[in-house]
Amino acid sequence: MQTQIEARFLSIDLADSRQRLENLMATLTTPMRLVRCAITDPDRIPESKGVAWTRVRDGGNKVTLTYKEVIEQRRGGTKEITLTIDSYGEAIELLEKLGFPVISVQQSRRETWHLGTVSIILEEWPWIKPFIKIAGPSEAAIRDVSARLGLAWSQAVFGSTTLAYAAEFPGVRLDLGENIAQIEEIKFGAPLPYWLKKRRNP
């Protein structure tokens, strides 16, 4: 499995981030587009070292099937295997036939830039403020790009997208393994689900 090295910086301004990227002569490789994901039940993978699940993602330009395993909520604590595939629907059907039911269908919007070997992804998710994800071949490369974008490394968070929701809904119990896969549908324009309403305050 590959080690996923990435850092998130929460509650960012999209227009300001784009301007900073342009000033650094970063390359916009994929404009903002709608992304849909299907997440399978992590309880069906009991042999993992941490919390593990499979994800089918339709990013508009390609479809991928990924196995993800979060061993620790820290940099370098996530492992993954990703395959590029042909069909979003057939991949979901295959996983369900193999005994991995989809428990959460999620929408987001993503815009991808590149600066050297580093990917910079601007993301929007329902009910929370936008954030920026920086991924690269090493922590040093990610730190360098973060600094050039004016992002304080002390503010970086490491782990899954659930951390972005926990920052705005502090009642989310990360210590008990709660995550956004417990929300059946995450969709733009949908009302705030009861699960998050209960976790608005600790």
Question: Which of the pair, 2 or 191, is modelled with greater confidence?
Answer: 191
Residue pLDDT, tens place only, 123-146: 999 999 999 999 999 999 999 999
Asked if residue 76 has pLDDT above 60, the reply is: no
pLDDT band at 75 (very low <50, low <70, confident <90, very high): low
The rounded distance, in Å, linking the Cα atoms of 99 and 102 is 10
**Quick check: 47 pLDDT over 90?**
no
Q: What is the DSSP letter of 129?
A: -
Q: Contact, 161 vs 182, CB < 8 A?
A: no
**Model pLDDT, residue 5:** 83
Task: Measure the CA–CA gap between 16 and 184, rounded to whole angstroms.
Answer: 33
Q: What is the DSSP letter of 150?
A: T
Would you give the distance in Å from CA 84 to the centre of its chain?
Answer: 17
Return mean pLDDT, the chain: 91
Q: What is the mean pLDDT of residues 171-181?
A: 90
* DSSP run (H or E) holding 147: helix 139-148
* Residue that wins the pLDDT comparison between 98 and 70: 98
pTM attached to this predicted model? 0.90
Q: For residues 17-24, give the mean pLDDT.
A: 98
Residue 50's pLDDT is 57
Are 147 and 74 in contact by the 8 Å Cβ rule? The answer is no
pLDDT digits (tens, 9 = 90+) for 92-111: 999 999 999 999 999 999 99
pLDDT of residue 176: 87
The pLDDT-based confidence of 46 (bands split at 50, 70, 90) is low
Long-range CB contact pairs, 40-47, < 8 A, 24+: 40/95, 40/100, 40/101, 40/102, 40/103, 41/100, 41/101, 41/102, 41/103, 42/181, 44/99, 44/100, 44/101, 45/100
| Environment class of 27 (CB within 10 Å of its CB; exposed 0-12, middle 13-18, buried 19+) | exposed
**And the tokens for 189?**
């324009």
pLDDT above 70: residue 49:
no
- Residue 64 pLDDT more than 70? yes
Q: What is the pLDDT of residue 17?
A: 98
pLDDT at res. 78: 75
Task: Please give the CATH topology (third level) of the domain spanning 2-195.
Answer: Hypothetical Protein Pfu-838710-001 (2.40.320)
What's CA 22's distance to the chain center, in Å? 23
C-alpha to C-alpha distance for 125 and 78, rounded to whole angstroms: 21
Please state, for a pLDDT cut of 90, what percent of the chain lies above it.
Answer: 74
Is the separation of the CB atoms in 133 and 10 below 8 Å? no
pLDDT at 114: 98
The confidence score (pLDDT) of residue 34 equals: 97
First to last CA, the chain: 36
